[in-house]
Structure 1
Amino acid sequence: MDIKVNFSGRAIRYTEDEIAVVVEAMRNADPLTQGHYMRQFESKFADYQGVAQGTCFTTMNGCSALELSAQLCMFNEGDEVVIPSHTFTASAYPYVKKGAKLVWADVDLHSRVVTAESIERVLTPRTRAVVVVHLYGYVADMPAIAALCKERGLILIEDAAQAIGAEIGGVKAGAFGDMAIFSFHSHKNLTTLGEGGMLYVRDAKLAAMVPTLRHNGHCGFDFERPDYWKPAMGNVDMPFIDGRMVQPNNYCLGEVECALGAKLLERIDEINDQKRSRALAFIDALKDFPELEFHREDSRRHNYHLLAARMTSGVDARDRFMRAMFNEKGVKCVVQYIPLDRYDYYRRLGMGEACCPNADTFFDTMISFPFQHWLTEEEFTYMLASTREVLAQIR
């Protein structure tokens, strides 16, 4: 089949100015990691997020940021973490690796994210933390969720991997919680050459530990050295949280990627606004086909990282639609984010039980359309016309 509109693994094309920044960093950065561009990116990101300086830390990807957030929780045996069943697996398994048991929360069928109510339903006396995933680029009801977590004394972590630039009440996704993570993977609206991430830590004492945690336990000696080479270039030690040593990692992001990330922050709002405008045009052009249900949000609460819909007429209709779109029209739609409780990995861990009917219903009938930022107007128009034709055909 000749694919006319592919579901691309690359979200954006870089401008000549962005390419020039990368070339400059390639030529002149010294060192090529943990240097000027890292500090610049972290500082600019904190400014963009409206959070304090010294609270944002680059990582080699979003998953390593999640690993660090899980590590800082310092789980005890029996601690539970509430997390949506409908999300990418990287949102979940770092907490398993650090000793927590996962408890699955359902999502709202229309917005596809968790709510304060769905979280509260699965809280127990063993709940230690809540992970809220702003899936598809839509910010969950964070004021209500933050109030719930504060009332119950729970650690609140935002997985804003897909939601950079989205906001609610003038507050950016990732600025509500005790910690937050972002991803700059190839699929994201801001991507640093394929991989990259950011960790936000609100608590100043915990934030001060992150550079050491991130970089092999490297830190300075606590005494003055008369010769800079004695006893070594630097010390290796680790901080303690609640009397327990935290183990080191190597999760650093290179200078070239950091230089690009800092530059891309200058146009992330433009990218998000353009994607939102195009998403709304697509959704509105299909309003006479109610069997295809989108989540329409005409504000910066949604950055439309992805353009997903639900076939309300059921899984058979969904499959017929996707088959015709691909085989007859050459448009490659996909299905994403199987509920995590269905995976063999979580079932083998004894975490295969969930009461998440909305997550199940949405996954079983969902369609994700090609929606990379660089999609041409010709491709976009063709995909829209094809969607209308196939919907009419399968009615």
Structure 2
Amino acid sequence: MISPIRSADRSSPVLDKNRPVPFFTQAASFTECWPDIQRHVNAVFDRGKFSHGRQVAQLEKELAAYTGARHVLAVNSGTDALVLLLRACGIEPGDEVIVPAFSFVASASSVALARATPVFADIDPVSYSLDPASVEAAVTPRTRAVMPVHLFWQLADMAALGEVARRHGLMVVEDSAEAIGMRWDGRHAGLLGRGGVLSFFPTKTLGALGDAGAVLTDDPEVAERVTTLRHHGRMGRTVDHIAGISNLSGASGTNSKADDLQAAVLLGKLPRLDAAIARRAELAAAYTERLRDVPGVTRLPTVVPREAATNPVYYVYLVEVERRDALVEHLTRQGIGTEVYYPTPLHLQPCFAHLGHRPGDFPHAEAACARTVALPFHPDLALADVDRVCEAVSDFYRGGAPS
């Protein structure tokens, strides 16, 4: 029998200045949901099918119920979900897809892997999502799609971006990898354009114990193409059908079948997702209350009003600060984990050097890369840990940090 991971008590009310605060752990929450996970894992071993089996099918069904998507297609990572979605939407060589210059590399590399060209645009400096005016300026005759990325805690401005897309006859394809639980007038992220994705990387709001992802879409044609592409182009057991599907002639499928063991973990955690989202909101409020008046902390997470009713879902707690790198070093010495999202803007990454960008092309994205840092943030975090992190940040900027 597999035994669950054990962990320290996450509800500890005592402020211990020597207690390490990791950037992420799911040990305590994993222990809590272990009986449900174990039940699903045992079902995988009992049936002996470890890839694309019944647990995957059940996960797709339950995610469809949670998100309201007509079709959920589980795959082996959020990155593959983006690549397959773009290909299923008919993106081809020579096409351009507009993406933000501030995001994880997969937002742009997925376009390249779909054999198209990523075209960068700047971000809104408060929400960190695509700036519609910058998108408008980036449109060319070769542009086929706009890919907003819903970063950190809030949906991109889908009304304004949708209007730009309509004016130019473009598709909207959402990188909603971080956005599970986010909704726009009741519609889940990823269902506001042609389709979207989810990532279940362990640190995500709903995280597996390894890589996993999914495509969300209401479009049956896109769903059929993703279903075929993710399994070597097969619609049956042995015959490749991919060349017979419109807009995919000459393309080949790939092996991106979902893992039933990861599906088992996600099925065990999914019933607790809303509680985890609520806990993240509590932790975000606690951080904001404690950091609001700390000198050197120049921007806290801000929910930007949208045209429609939206709900924030905090994936990370990201702040802008002065002397970011020195603060990170100070917190590291204190045993406090951090993460920089993202140290280099995409247009200045070596893999995109052939696109010819220079520093200064997208100033808001470059500023975010230089100033932002994510603090420890996950449902296992105790309020005493929040106190410890905030005290260490305050000490650094108020001159009380140890030398």
TM-score, with structure 1 as normaliser: 0.87
Q: Gaps spanning 5+ residues in structure 2: where?
A: 1-17
1:66-113 C-alpha deviation (Å, 9 max, x unpaired): 110222243444321100010011111121122222111111111111
Structure 1 Cα separation of the partners of residues 289 and 117 of structure 2 = 42
Contact 1:307 1:370 in 2 (8 A): yes
Among 301, 319, 340, which residue is 1:309 paired with? Answer: 319
Q: In the superposition, relative to structure 1, how do residues 115 and 282 fare at CA in structure 2: closer, same or farther (>3 Å)?
A: same
Q: In the superposition, relative to structure 1, how do residues 169 and 118 fare at CA in structure 2: closer, same or farther (>3 Å)?
A: farther
User: In structure 2, what is the equivalent of residue 179 of structure 1?
Assistant: 195
Q: Size of the alignment, in residue pairs?
A: 374
Among 53, 61, 83, which residue is 1:43 paired with? Answer: 61
- Do structure 1's residue 381 and structure 2's residue 387 form an aligned pair? yes
- Do structure 1's residue 367 and structure 2's residue 383 form an aligned pair? no
- Do structure 1's residue 288 and structure 2's residue 298 form an aligned pair? no
User: In structure 1, what is the equivalent of residue 3 of structure 2?
Assistant: none
Contact 2:173 2:193 in 1 (8 A): yes
User: In structure 2, what is the equivalent of residue 26 of structure 1?
Assistant: 44
Structure 2 Cα separation of the partners of residues 71 and 218 of structure 1 = 15
Compute the displacement of 1:159 (Å).
Answer: 0.8
1:320-361 C-alpha deviation (Å, 9 max, x unpaired): 32232222x3223232222011111110x3253572111111
- Do structure 1's residue 235 and structure 2's residue 242 form an aligned pair? no
Contact 2:89 2:222 in 1 (8 A): no
Paired residue secondary structure (1:137): coil
Counterpart residue identity of residue 369, structure 1: L
Matches within 5 A, 1:215-226: 215-220=231-236
Contact 1:12 1:372 in 2 (8 A): no
Contact 1:11 1:188 in 2 (8 A): no
Structure 2 Cα separation of the partners of residues 113 and 7 of structure 1 = 23
Matches within 5 A, 1:200-349: 200-220=216-236, 234-238=238-242, 239-242=244-247, 244-289=249-294, 291-292=296-297, 293-297=299-303, 301-311=311-321, 314=322, 317-327=323-333, 329-337=334-342, 338-347=344-353, 349=354
User: In structure 2, what is the equivalent of residue 125 of structure 1?
Assistant: 141
Counterpart residue identity of residue 252, structure 1: K
Q: In the superposition, relative to structure 1, how do residues 234 and 332 fare at CA in structure 2: closer, same or farther (>3 Å)?
A: closer
Q: In the superposition, relative to structure 1, how do residues 67 and 269 fare at CA in structure 2: closer, same or farther (>3 Å)?
A: same
Counterpart residue identity of residue 132, structure 1: P
Shifted more, 265-274 versus 10-19: the winner is: 10-19
Contact 1:25 1:255 in 2 (8 A): no
1:32-53 C-alpha deviation (Å, 9 max, x unpaired): 222222221112111211122x
Percent of aligned pairs with the same residue? 26
Structure 1 Cα separation of the partners of residues 203 and 156 of structure 2 = 21
Paired residue secondary structure (1:56): strand
Contact 1:276 1:303 in 2 (8 A): yes
TM-score, with structure 2 as normaliser: 0.85
Q: In the superposition, relative to structure 1, how do residues 206 and 26 fare at CA in structure 2: closer, same or farther (>3 Å)?
A: closer
Shifted more, 112-121 versus 292-301: the winner is: 292-301
Contact 2:338 2:376 in 1 (8 A): yes
Among 205, 208, 215, which residue is 1:199 paired with? Answer: 215
Counterpart residue identity of residue 307, structure 1: Y
User: In structure 1, what is the equivalent of residue 181 of structure 2?
Assistant: 165
Paired residue secondary structure (2:29): coil
Q: In the superposition, relative to structure 1, how do residues 279 and 173 fare at CA in structure 2: closer, same or farther (>3 Å)?
A: same
Paired residue secondary structure (1:158): coil
Structure 2 Cα separation of the partners of residues 8 and 196 of structure 1 = 18
Paired residue secondary structure (1:205): helix
- Do structure 1's residue 64 and structure 2's residue 69 form an aligned pair? no
Q: Gaps spanning 5+ residues in structure 1: where?
A: 221-232
